[in-house]
Structure 1
């Protein structure tokens, strides 16, 4: 049950399942329900679909992790941070193409989610931003590790230390998005890309797996994960929920 927080439909012009976040009243924030639904879609695509496209239905693509869930103030008692790690792992493990259509601001953990995808398409109003230091938190260690695998260190500094906004044009120049266009053109481009992929079973999955091995060369040690977790807990103070080190 999506509780109207997302929809999962098949695009009429091609074998693409479209997962659309539908929480405009919460700036499409990533709740337990949204993340659970997306993981389920990644594990089992709808019938006759060969790829997944993640989109949003609001003027904001996604405001990132729902702060109510982060702070333990929602109905679901599960910590949201490990669930976000499970989501990025599911995207990496999916044996089919996973893309994101960024229309509007993409903020916080949503940046990590889209950068984990196999392809990203943006509209002219799209942007990337991680305001962790602005809201008084330290980004989780597995998230830093995941972002470091996909971003130059100077870009990571810009995002994490100062919360700088990366507009769509800059994101394209840095190779973070495939193109900048309108939503319909972006979907059409994704459909064209799918036609160029070999139909031989397992080829895409094997190539993606080999890239995941290469990405794994950029990994934090257990000691580094613990150090960042300790810093997070010290920064959070006694009033905030303490987090445990997550291993992947």
Structure 2
């Protein structure tokens, strides 16, 4: 059996991070949580990458959450529990704070920590047949304050309360209606539709995407911690960029712009 991992592949402006632990429905091991910030940083350092896509290997599961089979060893003391929780928080934070747009491409089960990963991404697209659940209330686990805040920010109080307190399974179509998802596509067309949407994002001006991402990230912080000047600086850089001039020229010449992130 292959070692659980997160595979990384970059091409055509897209860095794909694939959660690969199919024997456990792509559950995240401690090592995988620790890999995630490194892989996000790798994508950010690649000037050719415009979008980060997080997916699960196969079509049975995006991610079933944390690999509970590790808990006896990885969470057997107060110190190890703290280290484990820190690794999970760092993985989620890497996605939330990424300077590039992040997309969760969901097929199959998206439960627990897997739903946390999906919610940490900017956009969430799913195939029909996908299912969503935060099962902590069925396991006797508590919710972290940051995790609850993320759900409330992205879903609103009422939906977040339903998701957490009921611990029920939510089908993809209802998840879209509740705004857990941006869009659901038929499973047989999912890859095609997803590629089209990601290509649309990747074809946009990189500096504009970074400025928008930073603004969204700052707005997600408590107001006292927001850095509006950092956003203003990125917006100013857009106006000074060669890409802005290219965008204007392409509009005048009625052609597609070719952006270089400069």
Length-normalised TM-score, structure 1: 0.77
Query: Whole-Å Cα distance in 2 between the matches of residues 17 and 206 of structure 1?
Result: 19
Q: Which is worse superposed, 14-23 or 39-48?
A: 39-48
Query: Whole-Å Cα distance in 2 between the matches of residues 153 and 218 of structure 1?
Result: 18
What is residue 24 of structure 1 aligned with on the other side? 22
How many residue pairs are counted as aligned between the two chains?
Answer: 213
What is residue 241 of structure 1 aligned with on the other side? none
Confirm or deny: 8 A CA contact 2:111 2:132 kept in the other structure: yes
Q: Structure 1 residue 10: deviation in Å?
A: 2.4
Confirm or deny: 8 A CA contact 1:42 1:94 kept in the other structure: yes
Partner residue of 2:211 out of 206, 215, 238: 206
Confirm or deny: 8 A CA contact 2:155 2:178 kept in the other structure: no
Q: Structure 1 residue 71: deviation in Å?
A: 4.8
- Kindly indicate whether residue 166 of structure 2 is the aligned counterpart of residue 162 of structure 1: yes
SS at match of 1:183: helix
Matches within 5 A, 1:2-151: 3-11=3-11, 14-45=12-43, 47=46, 48-58=48-58, 59-73=60-74, 77=80, 79-151=83-155
Deviations 1:195-242 (A, max 9, x none): 2x324x3x32222222222222489xxxxxxxxxxxxxxxxxxxxxxx
After superposition, the Cα gap between the structure-2 partners of 1:179 and 1:161, relative to the gap in structure 1 and judged at 3 Å, is same
SS at match of 1:175: coil
What is residue 238 of structure 2 aligned with on the other side? none
Confirm or deny: 8 A CA contact 1:68 1:74 kept in the other structure: no
Query: Whole-Å Cα distance in 1 between the matches of residues 95 and 28 of structure 2?
Result: 15
Greater C-alpha Rg: 2
Q: Structure 1 residue 74: deviation in Å?
A: 7.4
Gaps of 5+ in 1: 220-248
Query: Whole-Å Cα distance in 1 between the matches of residues 215 and 13 of structure 2?
Result: 25
Q: Structure 1 residue 4: deviation in Å?
A: 4.5
Length-normalised TM-score, structure 2: 0.73
After superposition, the Cα gap between the structure-2 partners of 1:71 and 1:154, relative to the gap in structure 1 and judged at 3 Å, is farther
CA RMSD of aligned residues (A): 2.5
Greater than 6 Å deviation, 4+ residue runs: none
Query: Whole-Å Cα distance in 2 between the matches of residues 206 and 44 of structure 1?
Result: 19
Confirm or deny: 8 A CA contact 2:75 2:84 kept in the other structure: no
SS at match of 2:23: helix
